[in-house]
Structure 1
Amino acid sequence: MKIQSLSAAIALGLLAQHATAAGFIEDSKASLGLRNFYYDLNTKNTADNRAEANEWGQGFIFNYASGFTEGTVGFGLDVVGLLGVKLDSGGNSQNGDSRRPGQLFPLDSNGKAEDDFSKAGVTAKLRLSKTEARIGTLQPKLPVVNFNDGRLLPQLFDGGQVTSAEIDNLTLIAGQLEHTKTRASSDDVGLRIAGAASVGGVQADSNQFRYAGADYKVSKDLLLQYYYGNLEDFYKQHFLGLTHTWAIGPGALKTDLRYFHSD
């Protein structure tokens, strides 16, 4: 069973027992964002010398985040729904047209961009004291893994994550990602790096990215970080970070140092 389906089943089963609990509804939030995106790429007469890509689309981004049920252990549910509608994306990726789609929208079997595409995700969440566990759809924004939001619709991951702030000024994070819906696709695919080789015509990928890290707030002006990421069969990465803010008159001088070591 996929993590996304499992998370939905767990959440519905738990929330059925706590549907009237205060906090779940009262602390919930919902938003609908509209994103109009035009993409223009022209590499003619360059070393790359590919055809141009001109695409235009309208995106709809819905997010719902519940609060937590009352009690020692609180339960909640998050939902994301994404829809992209094509406004213009001429050309064909298979017949040598000067315009080649595929940057904002998935392609159908004849090489043309789909008229629209959609994707959705559900996240079950559990809170105990100052520790929160999430399983299902994730959009991590961490030094060693960051969801891609550089096109019409954002990328979604499937996995699980635990965040704990039981110790004052120290936040611990650990998780595992297994699949992703990329920014221009509705399909669940494996995880890989750019340029990953094909084996027997099949794209090499992995279903396991593990990560863990810590944020330690030494003072209100100084933050220290360490994170580790491991994409199975591809790479391991260590990250060290230091962020310091120094108040100077009416403003501030911010220092942000980052060190990555990857194998």
Structure 2
Amino acid sequence: MKDSKATLTLRNVYHNQDSRTTDTPRIEQWGQGFLLDFKSGYTEGVVGLGLDVLGTYAVRLDDGGRVGKTDADRAPSTSGMFPLESNGKSRHDFGRIGVTGKMRFSKTELHVGTLQPRLPVVTYNDARILPQTYEGYQVTSREIQDLTFIAGKIEHSTERNSSNSDSLSIQGSSNRKTGQFSNQFLYGGFNYNINKSLALSYYFGKLQDFYEQHFVGLIHNWALPIGSLKTDLRYYNSNSTGANSSRSGRAEGYRAQGWWSSSDRDRYEVDNRIWSALFTYSLAGHSIKAGYQKVTGHSDFPSLAPDAGTGRSLYLITNSNVQAAKFASAGERTWVAGYAYDFASIGIPGLLFGTTYYSGSGIDDTVHGRRGNSEEWVRDINLSYKVQDGPLKGLGLDWKNGSWRGNDSGTVDRDESRVMLSYNISLL
């Protein structure tokens, strides 16, 4: 079929996660992943039809902790790269196949099946050896110039370290033994390029029986006489819906995570607002960023969390590239500062370096009974290189390193490193 494309990605990943406690084992895993991504073109005619297939497979090369800590000899984890067997050990391999049917009319497309959305209200996670996928449908329309409209429904998620599709939940309810789940997440919104330097976006998301969420974003790029300045403003408003909005529903397990006193009538109810501003100044390959984010309301920021312990990617200026920290707890105020350099400015295209520091305070910690007194910080370092041409074009090397410290009940002090060697082969 015309315009069809197929790419085979080889992804070799080493993951080392060392919790800075004596009773928590160190996770150390190494694996080889294979991702075959086929995207067909469309049939001819007024209505075009097509089919996309995403086949993924991963093999475990090494797994386990290292001696020196209690029970650390072999220590797989639900947050690792591979699913666990019934005996608690990591599987030797796993994989899955995702199929997406698609239809195009004019400048509007419908995708049904496997989805990988990157939107403010739902973003798939690709921080391990295989990517997370969702199942549902999505309509994308570009009929109006400079305006992109997106709407859809998600029913299940396949986690980055799983072959199985699961129902959806949020943190506070995503425990398979005691929590509650939903099979309906509705979303929609638009991106509008007001002019070449200013873009506005709005999105809405609703997880049945848990929460509904509104997002508004504004991005402005300003070309200065020397360098350029990017302003990124974001605002979320999240509230309860369905079972989570009633005391009886929350008693059944439809619960949010956050801060409440024992006498609060709205205990475990979704109630969260986040606003943030991030400013990035760029000049001759250098970029410096600074930002601030504030959380208000009783609950933590709600987002799709199909299972406890699995990773989430959030459209927040505080979404750490390495650590699980998101800096979205009830009451949290976070400062962000970072520096990045693109070596193309000195004749080495494809080589990038970046480091970011996040400092969060004022966290309302329910477990320890500290309202506004808990804090956390994260330091990320990222170094990557991708071959731009020649026989090794498509070969990439990424190194990510991070440290997470704090006294919040959700914080586990740890250091983490990831190394990924990837190679993209164009088959069609």
Normalised TM-score (structure 1): 0.84
1:162 to partner: Cα distance: 0.4
Matched, 1:168 2:145: yes
Paired residue for 1:40?
A: 16
Answer yes or no: is the 8 Å Cα contact 2:8–2:34 preserved in 1: yes
Paired residue for 1:101?
A: 76
1:167 to partner: Cα distance: 1.6
1:190 to partner: Cα distance: 0.6
Normalised TM-score (structure 2): 0.52
**Quick one: which amino acid aligns to residue 166 of structure 1?**
E
Q: Could you tell me how far apart the structure 2 residues matched to 1:164 and 1:241 are?
A: 19
Paired residue for 2:384?
A: none
Q: 1:197 to 1:117 in 2, by over 3 A?
A: closer
1:53 to partner: Cα distance: 1.0
Identity of aligned residues (%): 52
Which whole-Å deviations, capped at 9, do the CAs of 1:176-210 have from their partners, x for residues lacking one?
000111000001111112331558x3542110111
Q: Could you tell me how far apart the structure 2 residues matched to 1:58 and 1:129 are?
A: 41
Paired residue for 2:229?
A: 253
Secondary structure of the equivalent of 1:219? Answer: coil
Q: Could you tell me how far apart the structure 2 residues matched to 1:29 and 1:249 are?
A: 42
* The one of 69, 90, 98 aligned to 1:113: 90
Which whole-Å deviations, capped at 9, do the CAs of 1:12-40 have from their partners, x for residues lacking one?
xxxxxxxxxxxxx2201110111111111
The structure 1 segments of at least 4 consecutive aligned residues displaced by more than 3 Å after TM superposition are 95-99
1:90 to partner: Cα distance: 2.9
**Quick one: which amino acid aligns to residue 189 of structure 1?**
D
Q: 1:129 to 1:250 in 2, by over 3 A?
A: farther
Give the total of aligned pairs.
234
1:96 to partner: Cα distance: 3.9
Paired residue for 1:69?
A: 43
For residues 39-58 of structure 1, the aligned pairs below 5 Å read 39-45=15-21, 49-58=23-32
**Quick one: which amino acid aligns to residue 73 of structure 1?**
V
Paired residue for 1:10?
A: none
Secondary structure of the equivalent of 2:19? Answer: coil
* The one of 155, 162, 179 aligned to 2:156: 179
Q: Could you tell me how far apart the structure 2 residues matched to 1:28 and 1:197 are?
A: 39
Q: What is the CA RMSD across the aligned residues, in angstroms?
A: 2.0
Answer yes or no: is the 8 Å Cα contact 1:44–1:51 preserved in 2: no
1:70 to partner: Cα distance: 1.0
Paired residue for 1:237?
A: 213
Matched, 1:84 2:61: no
1:44 to partner: Cα distance: 4.0
Q: Could you tell me how far apart the structure 2 residues matched to 1:254 and 1:198 are?
A: 40
1:249 to partner: Cα distance: 4.2
Answer yes or no: is the 8 Å Cα contact 1:159–1:176 preserved in 2: yes
Q: Could you tell me how far apart the structure 2 residues matched to 1:251 and 1:139 are?
A: 34
For residues 141-156 of structure 1, the aligned pairs below 5 Å read 141-156=118-133
Answer yes or no: is the 8 Å Cα contact 1:106–1:114 preserved in 2: yes
1:97 to partner: Cα distance: 4.2
Answer yes or no: is the 8 Å Cα contact 2:52–2:100 preserved in 1: yes
Q: Could you tell me how far apart the structure 2 residues matched to 1:195 and 1:151 are?
A: 24
Q: Could you tell me how far apart the structure 2 residues matched to 1:96 and 1:211 are?
A: 44
Q: Could you tell me how far apart the structure 2 residues matched to 1:90 and 1:115 are?
A: 12
1:98 to partner: Cα distance: 3.9
Q: Gapped runs of 5+ residues in structure 1? A: 1-24
For residues 186-205 of structure 1, the aligned pairs below 5 Å read 186-196=163-173, 198=175, 201=177, 203-205=179-181
Moved more, 59-68 or 240-249: 240-249
Moved more, 139-148 or 189-198: 189-198
Q: 1:136 to 1:203 in 2, by over 3 A?
A: same
